[in-house]
Amino acid sequence: MSPSPALNLRNLRYFAAAYEARSALAAARRCHVSQPAISAAIAQLEAELGQRLFVRQQRGLAPTPAAQRLYPMAQRLLADAQAIAAAFRPAETRPRLSLGLQASLSPALCGQLLAALREGIAHLELRLLAPEDGDTPEVWLGARGCAPAGLGAFELLWQEDYVLLLPADHPLARQPRLQPSDLVGQPFVERCHCERAADWREALAALRPRVCAQVHSEEWALALVAAGVGLSIAPRPQGPLPPGLVVRQDMAALQGQRREIGLAHAGSAEGLLPRVLEVARAWGGPALSRAA
């Protein structure tokens, strides 16, 4: 009996990308290859394993039980392969990037971009900088106009609309149409870390909100609203909403209120920057609010 062929690591990487993205096209963007290359890799894996890995549906790829079993195995193999390559690569030759992150961004989206950068740039070593660190990063992820001094060039990745966050059991969550007057005297969770915190404080002053909590992270803002502590105005949360949280955007005061999120940099075309921008463009941000 002839031995089974060894599985190709590249095919496993393409499979893992398709499994995570649930889309061959999105996986192709992430891996910087054509969509047929992703499809061919999946077809070859299916032939080698004798198992169907995905069911093609109108909205993308649905993993089969075989794919669900294969995915954690593939992740371990890919991680081991990356660790072996990194162990034998001289430390001084590894690409390094200092990256600043705006505090009011979605942690989930920041994590996705960081993963895309580490996947798209082999052996990348990231140094994450907070504003209080005092150092200017090489690249900064945040809202247009909020970057540190010296980072004037801006690469737009996606847009976010501002919305009203309410507890699911709040009476206003079920009201057909909201007016600014409905917010008079309501308890509010103030997002002090937001770049527009002062703007919203001024805009809401006439409504005499009762500030019942001041938070400095998106996680706490969403958690306190979901717990029924108060209402808040924030960029639309990305991904699944926490239980107990309702999003409303039908209030006139919020119409057209949005921010542009992207990468700010010094504009140099040298070094690692071109590759960073290429990977970030291919990743592109949340599909539902991706900038055109």
41-63 pLDDT, tens digit per residue, is 999 999 999 999 999 887 789 99
For 194-239, where are the alpha helices, taking DSSP H only?
197-204, 218-226
Beta strand 153-167 with 139-143: parallel, antiparallel or unpaired? unpaired
% of the chain exceeding 90 in pLDDT: 31
Q: What is the mean pLDDT of residues 183-189?
A: 92
Q: Is the pLDDT of residue 212 over 90?
A: yes
List % helix, strand, coil for the chain (3-state, nearest 5).
Answer: 40, 25, 35
pLDDT at position 289? 40
pLDDT at position 2? 44
Q: Which two tokens stand for residue 6?
A: 């060894």
- Cα–Cα distance for residue pair 94/13, rounded to 1 Å: 21
Which helix or strand (DSSP H or E) is residue 110 part of? helix 107-120
pLDDT at position 269? 60
Find where tokens 């942690």 sit.
Answer: 107
Q: What is the mean pLDDT of the chain?
A: 84
Question: Going by C-beta distance under 8 Å and a sequence separation of 6 or more, which residues neighbour residue 13?
Answer: 31, 74, 78
Query: At CA 105, angle to CA 102 and CA 111, rounded to 5?
Result: 100
Q: Is the pLDDT of residue 186 over 50?
A: yes
Q: What is the mean pLDDT of residues 87-93?
A: 63
Maximum pairwise Cα distance, the chain:
81
Distance of alpha carbon 192 from its chain centroid, rounded?
21
User: What SS3 state is found at 57?
Assistant: strand
pLDDT at position 165? 94
Q: Which two tokens stand for residue 57?
A: 């549906």
The four Cα atoms 124, 69, 106, 184 give a dihedral, to 10 degrees, of 180
- Model's pTM, two decimal places? 0.65
Does residue 100 contact residue 139 with C-beta atoms inside 8 Å?
Answer: yes
% of the chain exceeding 70 in pLDDT: 91
Q: Is the pLDDT of residue 164 over 70?
A: yes
